[in-house]
Amino acid sequence: MEGEEEARTRTERRLKKAAQVLFFRRHRAPGVKGWELKKALGDDYLEVLGVLDSVLDRLGMEVKRISEEGEERGEGGGEGEEQAARDRFMIVLKEPVIEKASGERIDDVAMLAATLAYIISKQGKAPRKAVEEFLGDKFPKQRVFFALDRYIRQGYLGEDENVLYIGWRTRAEVDRKSLVDLILSS
């Protein structure tokens, strides 16, 4: 009986620790790497995260796992331990939010939405110049330039040799199919 009680207390303690590590920001970029979670929670950290995920589910949140290349991992990951250690874990809202959930200006959100939709339609990557020209149709060039740099810093976009692509954070936060469908049906 006592052993069972101890095991439950231990699980609860690790669950609390997992929630703290994932909720509180530790680095400039949000999210926590698998190896950090392993260090904090132990070798079976993926199981602990599974339990946390089911607890968060009742609160409308979920634990999301994204590879460094931006690829989303399904339930259980299905990948090796090494891959899991390199992946990034974070907590996201399960349902989309309608109310305001960020301090971004509406212009900036609109620009981000247009940029993502534009890049998605170009099979996931587009020359930065083309994106700047496209956004420049509605916003001053200077603002477009700084906005794109900010989206790159925030992880919504990636840039490689002047080519923009969908960043890891967009893959974690944005339902891309829904975004495009909503834009087409507006």
Partner 1 sequence: MKFDELFRLIHFCKTIQKEGTDPFDLDVSMFLETLNRYYTKWKSLDDLLIDAEAIAELAKIIELQGKWIKDRASSFYIDPVLLELKLKMLDAQQLATAFLKSWHPLISVDRITPQRLKEGLDYWNALLPLSDRKEDFPLPATVDMTFNIEDLIALNILSTREFDESIQAVLTELEKRGRTEYHEFIYDATFEASIIKAYLTSYLVSEGKALLEINPLEDKVFIAPSTSGDVKGRTPGRSIPISLSYEDWLRWRERKKQGQGQNGD
Instruction: State how far the Cα of 182 lies from the Cα of 149, in Å rounded to an integer.
Output: 26
Q: If 0-12 CB within 10 Å is exposed, 13-18 middle and 19+ buried, where does residue 54 land?
A: exposed
Q: Does the protein bind partner 1 through residue 117 (CB under 8 A)?
A: yes
Q: Does the protein bind partner 1 through residue 179 (CB under 8 A)?
A: yes
- Give 72's DSSP letter: B
The answer to whether the beta carbons of residues 32 and 38 sit under 8 Å apart is: no
Binding segment for partner 1 (CB under 8 A), chosen from 2-10, 22-30, 47-55, 74-82, is 22-30
Q: Does the protein bind partner 1 through residue 24 (CB under 8 A)?
A: yes
Q: How far from the centroid of its chain's Cα atoms is residue 39's Cα?
A: 22
Q: Does the protein bind partner 1 through residue 93 (CB under 8 A)?
A: yes
Q: Does the protein bind partner 1 through residue 180 (CB under 8 A)?
A: yes
Binding segment for partner 1 (CB under 8 A), chosen from 6-14, 24-32, 67-75, 143-151, is 24-32
Give the nearer residue to partner 1 in terms of CB position, either 118 or 145: 118
Give the nearer residue to partner 1 in terms of CB position, either 53 or 173: 173
Q: Which residues make beta-bridge pairs with 63?
A: 91
Beta carbon of residue 166, minimum distance to partner 1 (angstroms, whole number): 11
Binding segment for partner 1 (CB under 8 A), chosen from 6-14, 21-29, 69-77, 143-151, is 21-29
Q: If 0-12 CB within 10 Å is exposed, 13-18 middle and 19+ buried, where does residue 139 land?
A: middle
Instruction: State how far the Cα of 36 lies from the Cα of 41, in Å rounded to an integer.
Output: 9
